[in-house]
């Protein structure tokens, strides 16, 4: 079970249709002085996302190591990256990793609030902290041995992440 304190202050978790603006994100965390919300976005029916990328395959495999560990298929066709899921793997990835990542943003934000600091959303550090929380909690809750494998490199390039 998650610590109740980690969830305190989250007003709602919404499932939303993906839009053009949000189609690179699996989920987002929103925070202002009044409320915190988590949105989880839908996938196209094909369960396929295509991105333009300058990355090379080994680098991309590193960046997407977590998604790959959940079963995502990754193919590079020229400068187009194809990320393809099957529904069971995607469901598991979203309900575990993505949700825990967004909760991780909330946990970090609440720590900042308690210290009287300004919100920090979208910085490389905030992504790193959220990702660390997700991997740590996944290991605690589900016993996946992914923590050490996934902490290297992946969160260092926020622009390539598909969740925020
Ligand atoms: Zn994030």
Task: Delimit the domains of the chain by residue range.
Answer: 4-45+84-160
Q: What is the pLDDT of residue 122?
A: 83
How far apart (Å, rounded) are the C-alpha atoms in residues 37 and 102? Answer: 9
Q: How far, in Å, from the CA of 124 to the mean position of ligand 1?
A: 9
Q: Which residue has the tokens 């925020």?
A: 164
Q: What is the pLDDT of residue 18?
A: 79
How far apart (Å, rounded) are the C-alpha atoms in residues 139 and 134? Answer: 9
**Is 161's pLDDT higher than 70?**
no
pLDDT tens digit sequence for 124-157: 999 999 999 999 999 999 886 554 444 444 443 3
91-98: average pLDDT: 95
Backbone angles phi, psi at 152, to 5 degrees: -95, 115
pLDDT tens digit sequence for 41-85: 999 899 998 889 999 999 999 999 999 999 999 999 999 999 999
Q: How far, in Å, from the CA of 58 to the mean position of ligand 1?
A: 23
Q: Which residue did the predictor score with more confidence, 58 or 1?
A: 58
Q: How far, in Å, from the CA of 75 to the mean position of ligand 1?
A: 23
């Amino acid at each position: 079970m998650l610590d109740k304190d980690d969830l305190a202050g989250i007003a709602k978790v919404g499932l939303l249709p993906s839009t053009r603006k949000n189609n690179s994100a699996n989920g987002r965390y929103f925070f202002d002085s009044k409320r915190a919300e988590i949105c989880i976005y839908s996938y196209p029916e094909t369960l396929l996302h295509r991105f333009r990328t300058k990355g090379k395959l080994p680098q991309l495999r590193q960046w997407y190591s977590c998604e790959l560990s959940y079963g995502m298929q990754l193919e590079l066709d020229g400068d187009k990256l194809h990320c393809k899921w099957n529904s069971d793997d995607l469901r598991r990835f979203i309900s575990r990793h993505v949700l825990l990542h967004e909760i991780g943003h909330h946990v970090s934000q609440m720590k900042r609030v308690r210290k009287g600091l300004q919100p920090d959303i979208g910085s490389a550090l905030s992504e790193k902290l959220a990702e660390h929380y997700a991997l740590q909690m996944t290991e605690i809750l589900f016993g996946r041995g992914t923590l050490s494998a996934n902490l290297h490199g992946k969160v260092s390039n926020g622009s390539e992440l598909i969740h925020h």
